Structure formats: structure tokens, C-alpha cells
Amino acid sequence: MQRAMSGPARRFRPSLWATLFTVPAVLAMLGLGTWQVERLGWKEDLIRRVHARMGAAPVPLPATVADPDDLDLRPVTVTGRLLNDRALLMIARPRQGQMGYEVVTPLQRADGGPPVLVNRGWIPMDRKDARRDGSPGEVTLRGVARLPAPAGWMQPGNTPGAEVWVRLDPPAMAAALGLAAVAPVVVEALPGQSPGGPSGIEPRVDLPNNHLQYAITWYSLAATLLVIYVVFHLRRRSDP
């Protein structure tokens, strides 16, 4: 009597084609979720190392940069004379709704090393002539050494000889300025070193870490597909 009131019993009768599709798909989703968990650990370790590097005490920029990757994101100091008459402008993001540029100035080093490009920071578009402002004598600048980012596949290229550049490209900029060579890294000058001039650049690195969300998404999709598969194939005993 109780069994009749509870309804007909069900049995699990999976179909061949649904099984051939579902099992590999679930395994693939679980694999992708596990891969994202591994990537999460890698990204968290990378973020820790980057923050530790950027928090280290500044070191003098070597006269010869043998390993640019090892110098990337390190606080540095560099001494020399800013070649303000050769300063370049680079497209920058607006600030508080105001358009502007970043000023990139070559610095002739006092230690005899090749000149280094210094990104001195942002200036308003209507003050672009301020790119030539700066101390004419020897200065010691504090900043962060950065490797120029590679060009994005949708990013427009630079036009050598143009007044405004799209992205940092030390070899092309050196050629446009008539310099034989420049250091392979760019120094992003810290704020407060050019009163009334370019703003300087706050040290900052954007390292998006979305791997946990991706892992949860893949695991959730695997669980959802598995539940749908099981429910779809639970049939009443009276069904054919």
C-alpha cells in the first residue's frame, strides 16, 4: 500500500549516445577546473614574488643590463643628465576627464652606460611643451625598472618620427632620437621629483587573479551536466 502511494519505482537506464557525450565532457570540465586550481597557486606565488621585488630597497641601475628580465619591476636609482630637448610624448589615459600624455625623456648616464629612457609621468595635453622642462644639470632619479610590454595584436603601431608615440619601444625611440642605443629597460620615475612638471608614476602592477572563479565555474558545469544526465535517465519501471 505504501509503495503504491509513493509512485512507481525508478531505475537508471543511460543511453549509449548520451553516455558517450557526457562522460568525456564531465572529465574534461573536471580537468579544466583542476588546471585552474593549479594556476591559482602559480598566480598567488607570482603575486607574492612581484610584491617582494617591488618592496625591495632601490639599487643603482647597472651600467650594462645583462638580464633585463631579472631587473624588471626592481626599484632603482639612476644618475645623469636629462636630455630634455629630446623628450618624447606617449599616448596616456585621461585623468579626471582630462586628456594628456606621458613624457619619455632619455637620460645620459653619469656612469658611462648607454642612455636610459625615463618615463617621467603624465602631463595635460594643453601643457605638452612642459615635456622639455627639467633640471639641466646632473640629477639622481628614483624609479622602477620596467620591461616594455609587447604590442597587443589590436594595438596600432608606432609611427617613427611622429610627435606622439603609442607604446614604449626603446630601439625605435633611440633611432628616432639619433641615439646609437639605449638600455633595454625603461625607468618609471616615482612621483615628486619634477615639481610643476610630469607627475611621475606610482609603482603598480595589475595581475588579475580570476583562477578561483574559473575553477568554480568548471566544477559547477561538470556537476550540473552530471545531474542532468542522471535525472534524464531515471525512468519509471513501467516505462519501456
pLDDT for 67 = 87
pLDDT for 164 = 83
pLDDT at 36 over 90: yes
Residue 20 and residue 110 in one domain: no
| Phi and psi based region of residue 191 (left: phi greater than 0; alpha: psi -120 to 50; beta: remaining) | beta
The lowest-confidence range among 63-77, 110-124, 196-210 is 196-210
Mean of the pLDDT values across residues 104-131?
88
Residue 36 and residue 115 in one domain: no
Asked whether the whole model's pTM tops 0.85, one would answer no
CA distance 105 to 209: 33
| Residue 66 included in any domain | no
Mean of the pLDDT values across residues 150-166?
70
pLDDT at 33 over 80: yes
Residue 184 and residue 116 in one domain: yes
Grid-cell match 593549479, residue found: 38
Query: Which pLDDT tens digit goes with each residue over 200-239?
Result: 888 877 778 899 999 999 999 999 999 999 888 886 444 5
Mean of the pLDDT values across residues 45-74?
86
Residues with Cβ < 8 Å from 88, sequence gap 6 or more?
Answer: 103, 104, 105, 131, 165, 173, 176, 177
Residue 224 and residue 184 in one domain: no
- The parent domain of residue 226 ranges over 2-49+209-236
The continuous run of DSSP H or E covering 165 comes out as strand 164-165
Residue 88 and residue 182 in one domain: yes
pLDDT for 156 = 66
Greater model confidence, 233 or 79:
79
- Cell numbers at residue 86, please? 629630446
Residue 97 and residue 166 in one domain: yes
CA distance 198 to 189: 10
Phi first, then psi, for residue 186 (nearest 5°) are: -110, 140
Helix (H, G, I), strand (E, B) or coil at 186: strand
Residue 31 and residue 90 in one domain: no
pLDDT for 200 = 83
Residues with Cβ < 8 Å from 121, sequence gap 6 or more?
Answer: 102, 103, 188, 189, 191, 194, 198, 199, 200, 201
Helix (H, G, I), strand (E, B) or coil at 194: coil
Residue 39 and residue 87 in one domain: no
Residue 86 and residue 43 in one domain: no
| Residue 94 included in any domain | yes
Instruction: Give the number of domains in the chain.
Output: 2
Asked whether the beta carbons of 74 and 61 are under 8 A apart, the reply is no
| Residue 122 included in any domain | yes
| Residue 37 included in any domain | yes
Residue 43 and residue 93 in one domain: no
Mean of the pLDDT values across residues 139-158?
79
Residue 103 and residue 174 in one domain: yes
pLDDT at 92 over 70: yes
Residue 185 and residue 131 in one domain: yes
pLDDT for 1 = 44
| Residue 137 included in any domain | yes
| Residue 61 included in any domain | no
Query: Which pLDDT tens digit goes with each residue over 162-193?
Result: 678 888 889 888 988 889 889 999 999 998 88
| Residue 199 included in any domain | no
